[in-house]
């Protein structure tokens, strides 16, 4: 059974750093792209970026480029989303989502997110 | 402000048909296929429709999708109380080089 299990809720202060995780199981982690999606309180979904764990090829949404970092550790089938300096506006629930199989050289428009993590709530407040 | 535009709310009574619309542009819906995701309260999104009108296995045939030009629609027939959820359209945007979503439509089954 495919599962994406995310790390628990975090409460941080502005300026602090943070890394949240998404542990995959039930499939070959290295062969599927993993994306991160933000959902701010009461708002819609926003795609942040995506990584191919097989070779760490990473793409970012222009809105999030330079604001967050996405990485993956193949040895423990885990993807990460990290911030160097959090802002109050980073308060949101963050989801990881697996892109259905398309290989490393993927034509992204044709594919969809077939499995999602349960989400990690990040609260940034002084 | 989301790149794809959806009405914030829709409603229907049990057994009725509900339709949710999504409007985009030539760089997203106009040139790429559309997905629809359902987000039940307090849960993660789940794909309902891909490639404009295809259902993954396990999704009831009460859900159907269509696309015309730069707009897409999700239709839900035989409404049930468990269909109360937020529905999001999504597509790849060639200009932004990434996935874009609609703002979501909250469906209420009266």
For A81-99, b where at least 16 C-beta lie within 10 A, e where not — what string?
bebeebeeebbbbbbbbbb
CA-wise closest residue to B85 among B50, B37, B52: B37
CB contact under 8 A, B46 and A116: yes
Confidence of residue B1 (pLDDT cuts 50, 70, 90): confident
Please write the tens of the pLDDT for every residue from B11-55.
999 999 999 999 999 999 999 999 999 999 999 999 999 999 999
Query: What per-residue confidence (pLDDT) applies to A109?
Result: 87
Query: What per-residue confidence (pLDDT) applies to B80?
Result: 96
Is residue A15 predicted with pLDDT exceeding 90?
A: yes
Query: Measured between alpha carbons, how far is B50 from B36 in angstroms, rounded to an integer?
Result: 7
CA-wise closest residue to B89 among B76, B68, B72: B72
Mutate to test the interface with B, among A3, A98, A112 (most CBs of B within 10 A): A112
Query: What per-residue confidence (pLDDT) applies to A101?
Result: 85
Distances (CA, A) of A44 to A47, A53, A59, B72: 10, 27, 21, 18
CB contact under 8 A, B45 and A117: no
Please write the tens of the pLDDT for every residue from A56-99.
999 999 999 999 999 999 999 999 999 999 999 999 999 999 99
Which residues make Cβ contacts (< 8 Å) with residue A126, sequence separation at least 6?
A: A13, A14, A88
Distance between B50 CA and the closest CA of chain A, angstroms: 7
Residue for token pair 């975090």: A10
Interface contact B92, partner A, CB < 8 A = yes
| Candidates A37, A62, A119; nearest CB to B96 | A62
| Candidates A35, A37, A113; nearest CB to B47 | A113
Contact by Cβ (8 Å): A115, A6: no
CB contact under 8 A, B51 and A113: no
Query: Measured between alpha carbons, how far is B69 from A91 in angstroms, rounded to an integer?
Result: 36
Query: Measured between alpha carbons, how far is A18 from A87 in angstroms, rounded to an integer?
Result: 11
Contact by Cβ (8 Å): A121, B42: no
Query: What per-residue confidence (pLDDT) applies to A80?
Result: 98
């Amino acid at each position: 059974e495919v599962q994406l299990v995310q790390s628990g809720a975090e409460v941080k202060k502005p300026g602090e750093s943070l890394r949240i995780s998404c542990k995959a199981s039930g499939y070959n982690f290295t062969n599927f792209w993993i994306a991160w999606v933000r959902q701010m309180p009461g708002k819609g979904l926003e795609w942040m970026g995506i990584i191919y764990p097989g070779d760490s090829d990473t793409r970012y949404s222009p809105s999030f480029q330079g604001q967050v970092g996405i990485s993956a550790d193949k040895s423990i089938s885990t993807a990460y989303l990290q911030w160097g300096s959090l802002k109050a506006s980073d308060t949101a629930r963050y989801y990881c989502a697996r892109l259905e199989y398309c290989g490393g050289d993927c034509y992204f428009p044709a594919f969809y997110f077939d499995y999602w993590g349960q989400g990690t709530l990040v609260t940034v407040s002084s | 402000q989301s790149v794809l535009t959806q009405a914030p709310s829709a409603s229907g009574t049990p057994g009725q048909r509900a339709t949710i619309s999504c409007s985009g542009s030539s760089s997203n819906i106009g040139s790429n296929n559309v997905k629809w995701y359902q987000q039940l309260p307090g849960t993660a999104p789940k794909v309902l429709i891909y490639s404009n009108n295809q259902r993954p296995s396990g999704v009831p045939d009460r859900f159907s999708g269509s696309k015309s030009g730069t707009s897409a629609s999700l239709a839900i027939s035989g409404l049930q109380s468990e269909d109360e959820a937020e529905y999001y359209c999504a597509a790849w945007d060639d200009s932004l080089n990434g996935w874009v979503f609609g703002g979501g439509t909250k469906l209420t089954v009266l």
